[in-house]
Amino acid sequence: MAGGTPGPLLTTPLHPSPETLSLPFCHFSQTGEAEKQKSARPDCVDGMGTPGEGLGRCSHALIRGVPESLAAGDSAGAGLPALDLAKAQREHGVLGGKLRQRLGLQLLELPPEEPLPLGPLLGDTAVIQGDTALITRPWSPARRPEVDGVRKALQDLGLRIVEMGDENATLDGTDVLFTGREFFVGLSKWTNHRGAEIVADTFRDFAVSTVPVAGPSHLRGLCGMGGPRTVVAGSSDAAQKAVRAMAALTDHPYASLTLPDDAAADCLFLRPGLPGAPPFLLHRGGGDLPNSQEALQKLSDVTLVPVSCSELEKAGAGLSSLCLVLSTRPHS
């Protein structure tokens, strides 16, 4: 589908392969009074009349500066290649500028911390929806201290903080994809089933389903939201398997758009303005991923805002891992 118009993301595969059928999917059912209310109004999410209308609402963005220790590459035990520190810091600065000036968000920047070389990837440290922030437990023990500064910043912004508190659970925030209607949690090297259960326990007003993710990827490194009703995904086997898994589990009709590059699907659909204002799609630009730019132009209902993170990518950063976005404004 690369470069084509968005097609339907089917609620069931037409011809699922045996490999697809054998994947260990899990769907956590919703319970309680909130679910009864939603059943009466199945097209509403968080009290909004349009499906997915709450997706991307934001007033603030949180980032963390790039420390010199990131240039060491394997300082966090990740075995990553060394990178150009000055270039990585420039990319990070441009990202912050786009969030503040182009999108009009209130930008909060945590200072770099040398003991936390991967600290700029703070998208792994929290899952935020509405006024609730679930503080994650990253798979890598070396990364777990990263959550402390993020927790404090989110508390100061007035969010309700939920801790995981289970030593058997692992969860990287970039394994969690929120569509505006439901959550998908990637079961990957980084996130286990207990971590997904805690996501479901935390956000009980939404269905939460698990999607197996092969290899070293996070779920959001394979697919993302190009709009309230559009899933964008890379063209790799891993990305397409993830999309088929989501299609088999969802009760909602989404459109899908396949991009040549998996990394291009790691984007952020953002609505920082008032209801009715045009939304933005923060995405990797042509300098990073030229082959995916034509396909992204098919997303005609958004204003495309390109950024680069090719140097930060060497440290394992996807675009959505480099910031946390949230709204402190009441939804209308």
Q: What are the catalytic residues?
A: 218, 323
Which class is 7-326 in CATH? alpha beta
Sequence spans of domains, the chain: 7-326
At 13, is the secondary structure helix, strand, or coil?
Answer: coil
What's the pLDDT at 29?
47
Q: What is the pTM of this model?
A: 0.85
Mean pLDDT of 129-135: 97
Alpha-carbon gap, residue 283 to 179, rounded angstroms: 17
Alpha-carbon gap, residue 219 to 38, rounded angstroms: 27
pLDDT exceeds cutoff 70 at 271: yes
Query: Of the ranges 26-30, 46-50, 134-138, 284-288, which one carries the lowest mean pLDDT score?
Result: 46-50
172-185 residue pLDDT tens: 999 999 999 999 99
Report residue 201 as tokens. Answer: 């326990």
What's the pLDDT at 75?
46
Alpha-carbon gap, residue 194 to 207, rounded angstroms: 16
What's the pLDDT at 53?
59
